[in-house]
Structure 1
Amino acid sequence: MTDTTIAASVLDKEQLRDLVADVLDLDVTEVTDEAHFVDDLDVDSLMALEITVRLEKEYGVKLQETELAAITSLRGTYELLDRKLRDAQ
């Protein structure tokens, strides 16, 4: 399996949705693309940190403090990870 194949298969939006739902202890149907983590899903700073740690571990990326502002919804998180994985290739 090539790096391109790995990145394409690793960054599956439904797997990402499952990961976020697991961290937040929510049903996956509640983690919509547009649901704002803080306003809609009641994510606090500890939960946000846990999401970040799980993302770094699961996807093998290092998220910089300046990039964390993108992690406000599933869509923003997906776009950030997609960019990080593409840049790593």
Structure 2
Amino acid sequence: MSIDAVTRLDREELRELLAETIDADVAEVRDGADFVETLGVDSLMALEVVVVLERKYGVKFTETEMRSVRTLDSAYDLVRQKLQERS
């Protein structure tokens, strides 16, 4: 991973971004908390999460990858992977 990609991906910044996007308290966005099951995110808001991540980090997700973004951990891992592929 390039240094630029590392500096662009901060777990706590990502947590805050996700919390803001799904209109949740930052404390509710725990690493493994499922956005849909635990935080009540509907499919439209889940799509918004993906769009926000793509814009913020300049990456593109496949449809399968989009469906896998259900927790902070999965979002972090996927964005990290995409940044690695790009560098």
Query: What TM-score do the two structures reach when normalised by structure 2?
Result: 0.94
Percent identity (aligned): 47
Tell me how far apart the structure 1 counterparts of residues 70 and 52 of structure 2 sit (CA, whole Å): 15
**Offset at residue 50 of structure 1 (A):** 0.7
Match of 1:50 in 2: 48
Match of 2:63 in 1: 65
4+ aligned runs moved over 4 Å, structure 1: none
Runs of 5+ in structure 2 lacking a partner? none
Per-residue Cα deviation, 1:9-35 (whole angstroms, up to 9, x for no partner): 111001110110001111111000010
Aligned-residue CA RMSD in angstroms?
Answer: 1.1
Runs of 5+ in structure 1 lacking a partner? none
Per-residue Cα deviation, 1:11-66 (whole angstroms, up to 9, x for no partner): 10011101100011111110000101110000101101110110000000011102
* Counterpart code for 2:32: E
